[in-house]
Amino acid sequence: MCMVVPTTASGKLFFRTVPGRQFVDDFSGASPPFTNRCAYSNGTHSGWNYLITNGTYRIARQGPTNGPTWGFTAPLPWVEVRDFNISVDILDWVASGTNFNSLYLGARIVWTGPYGGVAYSGGLRLTPGLGTVRLRMMCYTNEFDGASFDFQQRPPPYRLQLSGVGTRITSQVLSLTTGVILAELSVTDTNLTHGFVALFPYSPVLGASESHAITVDNYFVSGTKP
């Protein structure tokens, strides 16, 4: 975090340090501390494939399959945070068919609550049939749509970011090529105060024939301890 202050400023600035958690993985090792075999709906990973290759992390789902639509991959041991800033670089995104698929960053995740678990998450939804990418957020049980952009005109690589300070949760995506922010969305929610972090790939409905693969790198987490 960086703050710029004019040299002519007469006021004094005071900061209080607090215990924090950091986690960084550039996927240069063959076996990162990730739970690559979990899935949201039933604890299996049918249809999902997680692969570390050439210093990147590839998350893919081959259809048709009757496996779970939600994937789940998180650092071990659990990285639990209160206020947080997390990001991941999306280097490549290949999809077939016309249905959507998504990748979310999640934080303050807890296993109890509606639907068996809740979180704050921000991600991108690619709809090949429309040729669009849309920024989306899920906060507790509510979903929000942000701006969309053309996938061909604004192709990867992207940097996806999610941050939370108090009750304010913000997600944004920027182009790694130009540094331009492509979409940004902020919401306020008071339900969750702390929890762990994870990546959530989300596929088309069960039985759909579409397949997709997302290649990511540089997964970064910084946050305050619960």
Q: Please tell me the distance from the alpha carbon of residue 182 to that of residue 157, in angstroms, as a whole number.
A: 12
- 8 in any annotated domain: no
- Which pLDDT does position 39 carry in this prediction? 47
The verdict on residue 3 lying in a domain is: no
Q: Is 1 inside a domain boundary?
A: no
Residue 142 falls inside a structural domain: yes
Residues 61 and 212: their CA atoms lie apart, in Å, by: 6
pLDDT of residue 41: 43
Convert the pLDDT of each residue in 77-129 to its tens digit: 889 999 999 999 999 999 887 888 999 999 999 988 777 789 999 999 999 88
162: left (phi over 0), alpha (psi -120 to 50) or beta: beta
| Residue 14 placed within a domain | no
* Segments of the chain scoring below 50 in pLDDT: 37, 39-43
Does pTM top 0.85 for this prediction?
yes
- Residue 5 within a domain: no
CATH code where residue 95 lies: 2.60.120.560
Q: How many domains does the chain have?
A: 1
Do the bridges between strand 158-165 and strand 84-95 make them parallel or antiparallel, or are there none, so unpaired?
Answer: antiparallel
Query: What pLDDT shows up at residue 42?
Result: 44
- pLDDT computed for residue 88 by the predictor: 97
**Residue 46 counted as domain residue:** yes
Range of the domain at 114: 20-224
Contact present, 153 and 180 (Cβ < 8 Å): no
Q: Is residue 161 part of a domain?
A: yes
